[in-house]
Amino acid sequence: MRFDILSVLPELLESPLNHSIMKRAQNKGLLEVHTYNLRDYTTDKHRQVDDYPFGGGAGMVMKCEPIAACMDELLAERSYDMVIYTSPDGVTLDQHLCNRLSMMDNVMILCGHYKGVDERIRETYITMEVSIGDYVLSGGELAAAVIVDSVGRLLPGVLNDESSALSDSFQDDLLAPPVFTRPAEWREKKVPDVLLSGHEKNIDTWRYEQSIERTKKRRPDLYEKYLKG
Same domain, 147 and 214: no
Same domain, 127 and 189: no
Counting every residue written for the chain, the total comes to: 229
Q: Are 97 and 130 in contact (CB under 8 A)?
A: yes
Grouping H, G, I as helix, E, B as strand and the rest as coil, residue 19 is: coil
pLDDT at 168: 65
Same domain, 134 and 172: no
Q: What is the pTM of this model?
A: 0.88
Compute the average pLDDT of residues 180-184: 96
Distance CA 9, CA 69 (A): 17
Same domain, 131 and 47: yes
Q: Which domain holds residue 215?
A: 167-227
Distance CA 91, CA 82 (A): 14
Compute the average pLDDT of residues 205-224: 96
Mean pLDDT of the chain: 94
Same domain, 113 and 14: yes
pLDDT at 124: 98
Residue 133 lies in a domain: yes
Same domain, 107 and 205: no
What confidence tier does 171 reach under pLDDT thresholds 50, 70, 90?
confident
